[in-house]
Amino acid sequence: MPDYRIDKLSVDELDRIKLPKFQRGFVWTKKKQDDFVQTLHDGYPFGTLLVYPENDNDKNASLQLLDGQQRLSTIRNYQREPLRFWKPLNRDEYMQAFTTVNGMLTDEEKLTESEFDHIVNQPETDIALWAINVSKIDDSKNSTTSIIETIHNFKERIDEFVDIKHLQVPMIVYLGGAEHIADVFANLNKGGIPLTKYEVFGAAWVNATIRLLPAEESPLQDQILQYVKNYYLDMQKQAEFDLNKFSEDDLTQDRTITLPELGTALGQYVVSHLNALIPYTDSAAQEIGFGLLGVAMKLDNRKLNILNTYKQKIADSLEDILQKTERICNNLQDMFAILLRRFKSTGNDYENGLSSTFKTLSYFAALWDLEPSSEEYQHTLRNIKAAYVYDAITSAWSSHGDQRLLSYCDGSRNYSAPISKNQFKSAFDQWIKDQTAGINFGKDIRCLVTIHANLSYMSASVPNGETFELEHIIARKRINDADNPKKRSILGNSLGNCMYLPKGINNPKKDRTLYEVNDHNRYSQLIKDSEYFSEETMNQIMQALSNRDYTTINNLLQERSAKVAYTLVDALLNGSIRL
């Protein structure tokens, strides 16, 4: 006998649905949601839900959703805001109603689309009150009654698009054992948008629980608990359904979390406290959090699937793990915030284009077991900033990053030895030689230029009150006039052609140099400290652009790239190498 039965669920019964805590967040794009609503309108069949009843003998029992969150959430969203879905699917009809209503109003009273949408979404009584209270309706064109009728008829057409009240949602009711739910969930999600390994961990390790210390005994554990709460509250809000067996109050009182919840919360802590180094992505928190637990356990990142076997060890050493995480986060943030902050940034904006997950985890691994007050800890920390750049230009983490990370976990690699200046400069020479022509700066260039600026000219040579932006030294307009956009020959995207420049000098012609705006020697010190082209070299470049002499242009750009790179090397190694 199969462990399931086929059934149907009316829209009125959607409140019975509860999301299991291990479900993913909402991942459908707007187009996929619109396509699904069109399917409902067309009356075509759509995929079934898979649910697990808390009590199959009770027809009103809650149903735990195992598969179909995207479909149910879209239905719920459509039920609440049909116009949001109807509008892009029926643009001509929408514009007809919008234009008709505006045609009944004077110019002073005409509505924007967003204002019209807001009115349409109101109850009929509120729409009537709005129409009555419009103070300058042009009665020669129409009346208040006509406006109300037009909007009423428009709303009826929207309501008729999908017969949501009579929609029957097909579902499969799983009747097997609860211990197999995670496996069922993982198998179902092998198609479509695949699960990440961290989502599979969340489904498989629901019984791997860790009890946190009582409230206020550990501020760090209190923070972890809050991250867990926020994660589920955000998911619940996003998915429009209640999460099964989630109660913020119960979690506060019991203080028991699962291993996957710890991994995610730990990652969120690190991403929040080390935002100079870690660019935010949806997956960053889980990659960092689970990876950091692996670092703490000296576990190969390729074997994180057995992390649950370390659950007790993690629980026993949790406070130590959190304290080390906090300390290393603070140390790295203090250092990289200085290097990577965008100039005159009003927020926490950083150019961290050289960062990667395994690379960041290696810093934690290298510092994890060192005594913070020791010389080795301090040397390692200082050497990391140079390694951040060196490893990027040598592509040290571009392949087999998990294997390289393990070498830092087991101690066979570390950052205690400084990089030699000659070795560093030689690596930059090769990197510069390998650059290819283009016009747009990559994230690596933006990051390197920001580090160079923060360690040199931006720290001392910038006139007060100026706004500076990453810009082309040889202006984009000049390069485009001289180069073939379809087959670039000029290294306009190179390290040598990028720096922080005053925002105004590229407006309105977008082609001026610092020499053309250097009244009263305003930028003379900046020109000197930034390795900006000399005036003679700049004139040579302009002549080469006119002659389309790409070799000369690129040679001069590579020369400046090398100057910037060598300054960068000297600054990064300052205090971290004995010459």
The length of the chain in residues reads 579
> What is the reported pLDDT for 83?
94
Identity at 36, one-letter amino acid code: F
Q: How far apart are CA 340 and CA 334, in angstroms?
A: 11
At 56, list the tokens.
Answer: 């199959």
Residue 176 · residue 184 · CB < 8 Å = yes
Residue 202 · residue 182 · CB < 8 Å = no
For the chain, domain boundaries: 1-194, 431-573
At 333, list the tokens.
Answer: 């943030």
Q: How far apart are CA 579 and CA 573, in angstroms?
A: 10
Residue 306 CB neighbour total at 10 angstroms: 11
Exposure letters 23-58 (e unless 16+ CB within 10 A, then b): bbebebeeeebbebbeebbeeeeeebbbbbbeeeee
Count how many Cα atoms sit within 13 Å of the Cα of residue 455 in the half-sphere of its side chain: 23
Determine if residue 68 is left, alpha or beta; phi over 0 gives left, psi from -120 to 50 gives alpha, anything else beta. left
> What is the reported pLDDT for 239?
60
Candidates 175, 187, 184; CA nearest to 63 is 175
DSSP string, 459-518: GT-PPTT--EEEEESS-HHHHHHHS-TTS--SBTTSGGGEEEEEGGGGSSSS---GGGG-
pLDDT tens, per residue, the chain with 579 residues? 678 889 998 988 888 887 766 665 656 788 888 999 999 999 999 988 888 888 878 888 888 887 888 888 899 889 989 999 999 999 999 999 999 998 888 788 889 999 999 999 999 999 888 888 775 555 554 578 888 999 999 999 999 999 988 999 999 888 887 767 666 766 766 665 666 788 778 767 877 899 999 999 999 999 999 999 998 888 777 665 555 567 788 889 999 999 999 999 999 999 999 999 998 876 899 999 999 999 999 999 999 989 999 999 999 999 999 999 999 999 999 999 999 998 765 555 899 999 999 999 999 999 999 999 999 999 999 999 999 999 999 999 998 999 999 999 999 999 999 999 999 999 999 999 999 999 999 999 999 999 999 998 887 666 556 778 889 999 999 999 999 999 999 999 999 999 998 876 655 446 888 998 888 888 888 899 899 999 999 999 999 999 999 999 999 999 999 999 999 999 999 854 332
